[in-house]
Amino acid sequence: MQTSIQIYYQTFKTLNPKMTEEEWAYFESGLTVREFKARDYFIEANKKNQLLGFVTSGLIRGFYMGHLGEDITTTFIKEYEFVTDYPSLLSHKPSRYNFQCLEPATIITIDFNHIRSGYNQFPGFERNGRLIAEEILKGQQKRIESFQFDSAETRYLDFVKENPQLFNRISLTHLSSYLGIERPSLSRIRKKIVGL
């Protein structure tokens, strides 16, 4: 059975085939494998975040508190995905988001300062940082565009297609919040699709 670090290495090598063994050895020296319980926070709103995480098991929900005190889901991070609040990493400001474990989770963490030090030591290391950032930003951009261009039904169908393994792991309340659909409307969409 593969260890969490081996899984991370394979993901990283797929993301950046040009990564050298020397670069990986440096990167690995900054890694910590951490275990979280369900409901634990990886990142808490209004606190500074210096960590980049990679989930090897478990599920995390990103959310923020709206003006009326409601929590609004912005993302779900599952196995083999990166988790962080990139703007807070780059700006050194407290995060505006919570990232909470919906299940017990194993997350490999690395301090962003360790990554930045690698930029100075290895000419190709910035490529690693850029590729991780691109992975995170692609997901964020896709979500933004789905609200700009897609109907509620299309957002739901796309989510089902891209995340079939998440349905038994997240609540309808969290899903409706993530999709920007009132829960009764989501139920109607689901019934309509089942009836087709």
- Residues 67-79 pLDDT 10s: 888 899 999 999 9
pLDDT of residue 148: 86
* Mean predicted lDDT score pLDDT of the chain: 89
Distance CA 131, CA 176 (A): 30
pLDDT-flagged residues of the chain (< 50):
196
pLDDT of residue 124: 74
Helix (H, G, I), strand (E, B) or coil at 48: strand
pLDDT of residue 191: 80
Burial 97-132 (b: 16+ CB within 10 A, else e): bbbbbbbebbbbbbebeebeebeeebeebebbbeeb
pLDDT of residue 194: 66
